[in-house]
Structure 1
């Protein structure tokens, strides 16, 4: 009987030795069940070819050609990545909607003697469970915001809080973006993949304990936070981290090293700030970058761009401030001490 989980938690706790995604590589790349391995039974080109034959010539011919391709690709997988597996192996196989591709591959595996099963509804079922978790239900745990102006090491502090047993979700890590105009860290995941990662993190939360997330707008780069989380964040109390401009500038130089400096010594992403700050300011900032004056640049960005924008945002919000945690330094020892203090605040809140 096909596996038919009713929640993300049920799916992630599936009692199988492996999860196999037999969809095409492009389907897998856009999003997939966490931990699933890609063993496509049709390549992107093969899938397009079979689909064209189905529409333009004959469903029967398409199925016959598709069956031959599936068998050929299945043989490659069995002789390759699956070659050394023992007889008691129990995989879970899924395709787009639990139909021919996963059924065909699972049948072949079953004939070998492996205890293969399929997912009722395939990837579409997984996607439905993710959407229900993110869009149809309230966020499953109380939220505490970690707030503070740019350069207060909030993302670094999240990792240190996690090492101290605090529940955290690193939204910027999931989104592969630092959340600011200069925060790109490379390609971001697709929205579906971001939502899968977020739903997976949410499924692991203890609903009786608070979870700490960094204060964000409704978008991180081009990715949109689902309403259940963003509404919980808007209603959440905040722990605000404060530090002097000099300490924040020094931390930014450390944190952004190699991230925003282009090979010619210019920070090309500063061009994104021209509509907000004007050509004269951005030209001056790029000159600082060319001259290697990164501390000066960080101070300028903090005082002339980031802090004024934070002030405007805060003036429009009514976030309750739980406490302020101030520090004079954001070096390694300073961040360790900050994490201890914040963890103590959260422990007192949850206790």
Structure 2
């Protein structure tokens, strides 16, 4: 569940021990041992993790089924004075709701794809649109990945289930009568798979294409991908992953640019010789494209294009 912290009142070994005693020996003995373990672990969690919470704190507690583990911890938290509640049915119940939201329910809100070649500041534009009251789904933000070979971000990607849980929270809040803007992506963001109900709505959606000069995009990328640039080993490894697609001498030229620190030139060549053509192929599969030319990608340029998009969406 997004935002949850893991404070088990029984760890895996303790749960197995209590369960074995319950089944093979004596349920009463199992409950006594379980109660002692739960009390001990709960006390440690309160001392180590929860002491700073005020009286008005309202924790929501869950375990797998919403049974004795979460129930006992919730009782202790209530006795402290916190307004604790249990997730009814536990994580299994929550997961059913997630699946219903992102797999079983058709996505009926009208989707508009925010398109544009690599380095067009689409993620920043999404944030500006959201600030203007436009509904957006930031798949790259939810997946913690920038959607390319160079797109890995600190902290790694969430699990598929965690990605779906975060997406479900967004989807449930969408007003189906109003447009929603989604960045044009493939059916995968890094290693995370976009659920079919949303992907089906995205595939044939109209596109707004941000068209920025190559030089402006290169300059933007050097800032946006600073983490990659500063990790020379990771940059070198990622460049090597492009070998199946380009001649060996070109890859060596790119390594040389990276070694010399000429990152804007490297970004320009990667876009011109690799990414732009691939974006173009995907874009050629649809006719419903509205171009949004921009002179640059500075703050004023991005504010302007966000205003234009908000105006187009009404």
How high is the TM-score relative to the length of structure 1? 0.80
Counterparts of 1:92-111 in structure 2, within 5 Å, are 92-110=60-78
1:288-340 CA distance string (max 9 Å, x none): 0000111211111111100111222233x23622x211012112222222222
Partner residue in 2 for 1:257:
226
| Aligned partner of residue 180 in structure 1, secondary structure | coil
Task: Provide the alpha-carbon RMSD of the alignment.
Answer: 2.6
| Distance 1:173-1:64 versus aligned 2 partners, 3 A rule | same
| Deviation of 1:207 (Å) | 2.1
Work out the CA distance in 1 between the residues paired with 2:52 and 2:130. Answer: 39
How high is the TM-score relative to the length of structure 2? 0.89
> Does the Cα contact within 8 Å between 2:228 and 2:234 map onto a contact in 1?
no
Work out the CA distance in 1 between the residues paired with 2:40 and 2:120. Answer: 55
Partner residue in 1 for 2:160:
191
| Aligned partner of residue 226 in structure 2, secondary structure | coil
Corresponding residue to 1:330 among 297, 301, 314:
297
Work out the CA distance in 2 between the residues paired with 1:238 and 1:285. Answer: 32
Partner residue in 1 for 2:308:
341
| Aligned partner of residue 136 in structure 2, secondary structure | strand
| Deviation of 1:270 (Å) | 1.1
| Distance 1:269-1:261 versus aligned 2 partners, 3 A rule | farther
Work out the CA distance in 2 between the residues paired with 1:111 and 1:264. Answer: 53
| Deviation of 1:68 (Å) | 1.6
| Distance 1:319-1:82 versus aligned 2 partners, 3 A rule | farther
Corresponding residue to 1:272 among 241, 253, 260:
241
Work out the CA distance in 2 between the residues paired with 1:165 and 1:124. Answer: 34
1:248-293 CA distance string (max 9 Å, x none): 2222222212324424695331111112224322221011000011
> Does the Cα contact within 8 Å between 2:126 and 2:136 map onto a contact in 1?
yes
> Does the Cα contact within 8 Å between 2:65 and 2:91 map onto a contact in 1?
yes
Partner residue in 2 for 1:289:
258
| Distance 1:319-1:232 versus aligned 2 partners, 3 A rule | farther
Structure 2's unaligned 5+ residue stretches are none
| Deviation of 1:48 (Å) | 4.9
Partner residue in 2 for 1:205:
174
Work out the CA distance in 1 between the residues paired with 2:103 and 2:287. Answer: 23
Work out the CA distance in 2 between the residues paired with 1:278 and 1:53. Answer: 65
Aligned pairs, how many? 311
| Distance 1:291-1:54 versus aligned 2 partners, 3 A rule | farther
| Aligned partner of residue 114 in structure 2, secondary structure | strand
Partner residue in 2 for 1:130:
98
> Does the Cα contact within 8 Å between 1:145 and 1:238 map onto a contact in 2?
yes
- 1:43 aligned onto 2:11: yes
| Deviation of 1:63 (Å) | 4.1
Q: Which has the higher helix share?
A: 2
Work out the CA distance in 2 between the residues paired with 1:50 and 1:265. Answer: 46
| Deviation of 1:343 (Å) | 1.7
> Does the Cα contact within 8 Å between 1:241 and 1:324 map onto a contact in 2?
yes
Partner residue in 2 for 1:144:
112
1:105-164 CA distance string (max 9 Å, x none): 234445566664433211110000000000000115221100111111111111111122
Corresponding residue to 1:311 among 262, 266, 280:
280
Partner residue in 2 for 1:72:
40
- 1:181 aligned onto 2:149: yes
Work out the CA distance in 2 between the residues paired with 1:124 and 1:36. Answer: 15
Corresponding residue to 1:156 among 100, 124, 128:
124
> Does the Cα contact within 8 Å between 2:9 and 2:37 map onto a contact in 1?
yes
